[in-house]
Chains A and B, each alone.
Chain A
Amino acid sequence: MNPLALEFKKRATASVADVNRRKLVLTALSKFEVKRNEKVAQFKNWQKGRELAAALKWDALENLAENLELLVNNLEKNGAKVHWAATGEEAKNIIASIAKEKNAKLIVKSKAMTAEEIHLNEALEKQGFEVVETDLGEFIVQLRNEPPYHIVFPAMHLTRYEISDLFSEKLKSQPTDKAEELTMIARRVLRDKYIRADIGITGGNFAVAELGAISITENEGNARLTAALPRVMITLIGIEKVVRRMEDLALFLPMLATAGAAQTISGYNTLYSGPRKSDEIDGPEEYHVVLLDNGRTELLADPVERDALRCIRCGACLNVCPIYKTIGGHAYGTTYCGPIGAVITPRMRGIEDWQHLSYASSLCGACTEICPVKIDLHHHLLKNRRIAGTKTPVWWQKTAFKIYAKISNSPTLWSLMTKFGRLGQKLHPLIKGTKLDPAYAWTKNRDLPPIAKQTFKEWWRMRK
């Protein structure tokens, strides 16, 4: 088995054994579900909203080149500097060279999954820059030196007691079990960072082509401070985030808030279109937008799975996924976890290495059912499996299915197998629960039903 798959299994096993953590996540997501359903019900027609959102995103992607051109032209007209990055490496180099040119020491960041995707923090830290995450959840996981647990709720796996201990250790604060006090501790540390920071880096939720503006959704206001206080602002955004019109946001912003955060609308929705103008009192002196490809155009070339580029990173598929709820976000070992991660990671980072994620699903379809932009998630997992089964077939599995097809197709062989099965079951107690047991994966934690004394087919034959 490939080492990444083995590691995944190890982490999944550990997550399953961590019963308290599982309970914490499950309880949080159950409460979230109730709230989200209330918000969904506020839509006059949620299903039609999904269809429209999917169609708008589809249209934006079908005309991606044209929309990007329009976006770039308008951004430049607004005074922004636009950079194209084909790969994560390129994006990191672009950002690092801006930071060097500005003699920056301290960089503040608001939450950006694209930055996680290309491991931007490590790259900048290696070059001597101090990088501070300002989203509360992200700030917490950064202090713990771990990746976000969830696309939208990076620290949802932690209790307030764990956060209090973490703050006491790293920030020398007094222990407290009050969420408000914990927030205030983080705020005191972060306010100082904002004021001293040379550069602010953000992600982006949508890039509005006709305006030449980046739309950022948040609830804490930290992205606004990241954008407004430092002299230089950099936005790192995937090219698939482009939408054509300002009015598209009228649907996307409430959709994102509902599906992702169980809110009618998020606390802050801000459009960033360029640096401070001469008659404006605040804002950065320079605004850079880095447009990231990093495998997206390859996915766009796939006639079936390209719909995964519609993703607005709301995390709705994680919240309903029984696998995610069971193993949590870290077990995946990827930037994007949950169903969307299981779909796009094998396509972006190699099916040979990451196919296990496509198999680590019961194909229940809860993700597809909730996705606000109607990505056919669980069917894509099936398709990934087909690619894996064709490109890198496992010989014994292929042989087993071939033999099973022969047995299934022949009444004689089927009867014979039934008899063997009964005999096998008599002998089974001798090896049950040991490594010799061919059904060990099942019998370790579950009982197997016995083969009936008279199968249905045997009964049917007698009856006739």
Chain B
Amino acid sequence: MKITLFIPCYIDLCYPQVGKSIVQIFEKLGHQVECPESPACCGQPAFNTGYWEESQETAVKVLEQFRDAEVVVIPSGSCGAMIKVFYPELFEGSEYEELAKSVSSRCYEFTSFLVNRLGVIDLGARFPHKVTFHDGCHGLRELNNKLPPRVLLSKVKDLELIEMTAAEQCCGFGGTFSAKFPMISTAMGDTKCASALETGAEYITSCDSSCLMHLQGIISRRKMNIKTIHIAEILAQQ
């Protein structure tokens, strides 16, 4: 299959190893991978702040890039939900409405693509660590993506998954919310980290680097004894 990747801006800039892991996984499975140069962003920050016109400027570019893609895979529940759930709404009544719906139907979050579309659950990965999983809100509630990441993790050799009590509770990132209301955002992050620490896990993993960026920011600042890692990086470990 020809898989077109959409690498979100913050993954491109700060977490290239997430993208590399995904390329490695798909190529190992015998698929052809493509990744357009631009756009870098899906337009979610503007959309979530209420500036739909500005959001459309980026989103149109995304639609044009992926017009002919067989499938589009995104290593993020958040950006995935933006394209899959919110693009049809963003372009409702415009000339791009049909294209938005069409791209939406061909677009997948990374773990749900592996499990639901490719039917792959065992990637032969090994990760001898205790891990706890954080459900990104968009992946969990907009894309209903609760099981795929857990199924994939359950097949990783020597990995022990310990669920935290607050697995489904928001980490407090929330995009521009994290900068508009930093005091609330970081307090929510503290609650999340405390719940993760209670499990005794060495790593917090997630389908979303954006949540992990926020949590890692708190972990580093407070010198907590836990690390963050995107699920793709675990699945690529041999």
Residues in A lying within 8 Å of B, measured CB to CB: 9, 12-13, 16, 22, 26, 30, 322-323, 325-327, 359-366, 368-369, 382, 385-390, 393, 397-398, 401-402, 404-411, 414, 418, 421, 441-442, 444-452, 454-461
B182 touches A364 (CB 8 A): no
Q: How far is the CB of B84 from chain A (nearest CB, A)?
A: 15
Contacts of A369 in B (CB 8 A): 141
A12 touches B183 (CB 8 A): yes
Contacts of B173 in A (CB 8 A): 362
Contacts of B216 in A (CB 8 A): 447, 449
Whether B16 sits at the interface, judged by CB under 8 Å, is yes
Binds A, one of B6-14, B102-110, B152-160, B196-204: B6-14
Known contacts A411-B37, A449-B216; is-contact A405 B182 (Cβ 8 Å): no
A360 touches B184 (CB 8 A): yes
Q: Can you give 5 A-B contacts (C-beta < 8 A)?
A: A388-B50, A398-B51, A405-B46, A408-B39, A409-B38
Q: What 1/0 mask marks residues of chain B from 153 to 175 whose CB sits below 8 Å from any chain A CB?
A: 00000000000010011101111
Nearest opposing residue in chain A for B56, CB measure: A405
Measured in the bound complex, the distance between the Cα atoms of B22 and A21 in whole Å is 44
A446 touches B214 (CB 8 A): yes
A442 touches B217 (CB 8 A): yes
Known contacts A362-B188, A418-B13, A449-B216; is-contact A457 B181 (Cβ 8 Å): no
B50 touches A389 (CB 8 A): yes
Contacts of A455 in B (CB 8 A): 12-13, 16
Nearest opposing residue in chain B for A391, CB measure: B50
Nearest opposing residue in chain A for B65, CB measure: A409
Task: Pick the most buried of A388, A446, A447: most chain B CB atoms within 10 A of its CB.
Answer: A446
Q: How far is the CB of B124 from chain A (nearest CB, A)?
A: 23
Measured in the bound complex, the distance between the Cα atoms of B6 and A347 in whole Å is 37
B39 touches A409 (CB 8 A): yes
Contact of B186 among A30, A363, A410, A446 (CB under 8 A): A446
Contacts of B52 in A (CB 8 A): 386, 389-390
Measured in the bound complex, the distance between the Cα atoms of B105 and A28 in whole Å is 42
Whether B148 sits at the interface, judged by CB under 8 Å, is no
Measured in the bound complex, the distance between the Cα atoms of B165 and A25 in whole Å is 16
A414 touches B38 (CB 8 A): yes
Whether B187 sits at the interface, judged by CB under 8 Å, is yes
Measured in the bound complex, the distance between the Cα atoms of B13 and A458 in whole Å is 10
A446 touches B221 (CB 8 A): yes
Contact of B15 among A398, A409, A411, A452 (CB under 8 A): A452
Contacts of A393 in B (CB 8 A): 51
B182 touches A442 (CB 8 A): yes
Contacts of A22 in B (CB 8 A): 187
Contact of A322 among B141, B169, B183 (CB under 8 A): B169
Contacts of A12 in B (CB 8 A): 181, 183-184
Contacts of B120 in A (CB 8 A): none
Task: Pick the most buried of A22, A390, A456: most chain B CB atoms within 10 A of its CB.
Answer: A456
Measured in the bound complex, the distance between the Cα atoms of B133 and A288 in whole Å is 55
A447 touches B220 (CB 8 A): yes
Measured in the bound complex, the distance between the Cα atoms of B54 and A405 in whole Å is 7
B217 touches A362 (CB 8 A): no
Nearest opposing residue in chain A for B141, CB measure: A365
B40 touches A402 (CB 8 A): no
Whether B116 sits at the interface, judged by CB under 8 Å, is no
Nearest opposing residue in chain B for A359, CB measure: B180
Measured in the bound complex, the distance between the Cα atoms of B182 and A146 in whole Å is 27
B14 touches A452 (CB 8 A): yes
A389 touches B51 (CB 8 A): yes
A363 touches B178 (CB 8 A): no
Contacts of A13 in B (CB 8 A): 183
Which residues B61-111 have CB closer than 8 A to chain A? 61
Whether B149 sits at the interface, judged by CB under 8 Å, is no
Q: What 1/0 mask marks residues of chain B from 13 to 30 whose CB sits below 8 Å from any chain A CB?
A: 111101110000000000
Task: Pick the most buried of B137, B183, B189, B191: most chain A CB atoms within 10 A of its CB.
Answer: B183
Contacts of A444 in B (CB 8 A): 182
Measured in the bound complex, the distance between the Cα atoms of B49 and A387 in whole Å is 10
Nearest opposing residue in chain B for A320, CB measure: B169
Measured in the bound complex, the distance between the Cα atoms of B187 and A13 in whole Å is 10
Which residues B213-233 have CB closer than 8 A to chain A? 213-214, 216-218, 220-221
Measured in the bound complex, the distance between the Cα atoms of B188 and A26 in whole Å is 11
Contact of B19 among A404, A418, A456 (CB under 8 A): A456
Task: Pick the most buried of B40, B47, B165, B213: most chain A CB atoms within 10 A of its CB.
Answer: B40
B170 touches A366 (CB 8 A): yes
B141 touches A445 (CB 8 A): no
Task: Pick the most buried of B14, B49, B214: most chain A CB atoms within 10 A of its CB.
Answer: B49
B37 touches A326 (CB 8 A): no
Q: How far is the CB of A407 from chain B (nearest CB, A)?
A: 7
B220 touches A451 (CB 8 A): no
Closest 4 CB pairs of A and B: A389-B50, A362-B174, A446-B217, A385-B50
B13 touches A327 (CB 8 A): no
B11 touches A456 (CB 8 A): yes
Q: How far is the CB of A454 from chain B (nearest CB, A)?
A: 6
A408 touches B58 (CB 8 A): yes
Nearest opposing residue in chain B for A392, CB measure: B50
Contacts of B57 in A (CB 8 A): 402, 405-406, 409
A16 touches B174 (CB 8 A): no
A456 touches B7 (CB 8 A): yes
Contact of A408 among B40, B49, B213 (CB under 8 A): B40
A385 touches B48 (CB 8 A): yes
Given pairs A404-B54, A408-B58, 8 additional interface contacts (CB within 8 A): A12-B183, A386-B50, A393-B51, A442-B182, A447-B217, A449-B14, A452-B15, A456-B16
